[in-house]
């Protein structure tokens, strides 16, 4: 099985722009979560989707949004980019949200740089 894929892998944007990141989960997985990783704050949960519904949301401003499609693929969007949004954005998938096995598979991430 192919792993979690994220596109693009690297992205450079300027302040004020918006960006859309894409995540394709492992085939058959229905739950997708997004995380932001920065040197200062570490790994922080952004949001989680299951069957096209947002199940959980982290403590991020409304500029951060996401969605999930019927094929379980997910996108996240960041509007009005700020310098502090520079980070590695990671996507993870699992068979079902909150399953006891809890095995989430992470993608390689998208490295976003905001200039």
Partner 1 sequence: DAKTTQPPSMDCAEGRAANLPCNHSTISGNEYVYWYRQIHSQGPQYIIHGLKNNETNEMASLIITEDRKSSTLILPHATLRDTAVYYCIVRVAGNTDKLIFGTGTRLQVFP
Q: How far apart are CA 85 and CA 98, in angstroms?
A: 28
Q: How far apart are CA 71 and CA 20, in angstroms?
A: 18
The answer to the question of residue 100 lying near partner 1 (CB under 8 A) is yes
The nearest distance, CB 83 to partner 1, in angstroms, is 21
DSSP secondary structure letter of residue 39: T
The answer to the question of residue 90 lying near partner 1 (CB under 8 A) is yes
Which region among 11-19, 55-63, 67-75, 76-84 touches partner 1 (by CB under 8 A)?
Answer: 55-63
SS3 labels along 71-82: CCCEEEEECCCC
Distances (CA, A) of 91 to 14, 36, 43: 23, 9, 11
The answer to the question of residue 86 lying near partner 1 (CB under 8 A) is no
The nearest distance, CB 42 to partner 1, in angstroms, is 6
- Nearer residue to partner 1 within complex by CB, 66 or 109: 109
Positions that interact with partner 1 (CB under 8 A): 4, 31, 33, 35, 42-45, 48, 55-56, 58, 88, 90, 92, 94, 97-109
């Amino acid at each position: 099985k192919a792993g979690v894929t994220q596109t693009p892998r690297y992205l450079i944007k300027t302040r004020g722009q918006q960006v859309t990141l894409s995540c394709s989960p492992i085939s058959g997985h229905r739950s997708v979560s997004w995380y932001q990783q920065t040197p200062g704050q570490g790994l922080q949960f952004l949001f989680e989707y299951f069957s096209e519904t947002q199940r959980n949301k982290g403590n991020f401003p409304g500029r951060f949004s996401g969605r999930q499609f019927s094929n379980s693929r997910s996108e996240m969007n960041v509007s009005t980019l700020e310098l502090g949004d520079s980070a590695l954005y990671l996507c993870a998938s699992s068979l079902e949200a909150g399953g006891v096995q809890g095995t989430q598979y992470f993608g390689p991430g998208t490295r976003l740089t905001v200039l």
